[in-house]
Amino acid sequence: MAKKVAVLVGSLRKASYTKQIAQNIINLLPDDFEAEIIEIGNLPFYNEEYDEGTTPESYTTFRNKISGMDAVIFATPEYNRSVPAVLKNALDVGSRPYGKSAWNNKPAVIISTSIGAISGFGANHHLRQSLTFLNMPVVQQPEAYIGNVASLLNEDGIVTDEGTIGFLQSIVDAFVNLVNKY
């Protein structure tokens, strides 16, 4: 049976480089992996009161969607050396109600991007910290830091450099290996 993969992108920009990298990653997945980019920009900021009263429909839809997935790809830019709020919010929403986290035990990979040379290291590792708590096994190697991202994409959002494609494929291969162990 095909493995279902949620793809979460930590940028809401239509022209997001990170989203373009995520699409390149999706294109490298094997045929028995079905990936879907999941909307996170529509989730209101998490408030525990929502889970004590009327839960927003967007929360329920999101939680059900993640629960039905086998694995998760996180592709994120770095904001102020950390994870963009929209992605952290999605993690928080999916982690509740207490004891019913949609993330539990789902294998994952983190791909950080940056227009600069430091490659989103801060975002990558802050996200890794949260995923440890959320009990998500995460690809350890290769570490997926994509720096100078703008220069890697052509006008159609495609990575054309053979070395970079090979690197993205090695990330995908490690992710596929991890997912197939679960």
Ligand X SMILES: Cc1cc2nc3c(=O)[nH]c(=O)nc-3n(C[C@H](O)[C@H](O)[C@H](O)COP(=O)(O)O)c2cc1C
Q: Does 17 bind ligand X (CB under 6 A)?
A: yes
In the complex with ligand X, the residue whose CB is nearer, 17 or 59, is 17
Q: Does 115 bind ligand X (CB under 6 A)?
A: yes
Shortest distance (Å) from residue 49 CB to ligand X: 28
Q: Does 100 bind ligand X (CB under 6 A)?
A: no
Shortest distance (Å) from residue 28 CB to ligand X: 19
In the complex with ligand X, the residue whose CB is nearer, 90 or 102, is 90
Q: Does 13 bind ligand X (CB under 6 A)?
A: yes
Tokens of 14: 């239509």
Q: Does 14 bind ligand X (CB under 6 A)?
A: no
Of 60, 73, 101, 61, whose CA–CA distance to 3 is shortest? 73
Work out the burial of residue 1: count CB atoms within 10 Å of its CB; fewer than 13 is exposed, 13-18 middle, 19 or more buried.
exposed
Shortest distance (Å) from residue 114 CB to ligand X: 3
Q: Does 112 bind ligand X (CB under 6 A)?
A: no
- From candidates 41, 44, 48, 81, binder to ligand X by CB under 6 A: 81
- How far from 180 is each of 27, 70, 107, 116, 161, CA to CA, in Å? 18, 10, 9, 34, 28
In one-letter notation, the amino acid at residue 85 is: A
- From candidates 118, 132, 135, 140, binder to ligand X by CB under 6 A: 118
Q: Does 124 bind ligand X (CB under 6 A)?
A: no
Helix spans in 7-146 (H): 17-28, 57-67, 85-94, 121-133
Reading phi first (left if > 0) and then psi (alpha if -120 to 50, else beta), residue 105 is in: left
Q: Are residues 92 and 27 in contact, defined by beta-carbon separation less than 8 angstroms? A: no
Give the interface with ligand X as residue ranges (CB under 6 A). 11, 13, 16-18, 77-81, 114-116, 118, 120
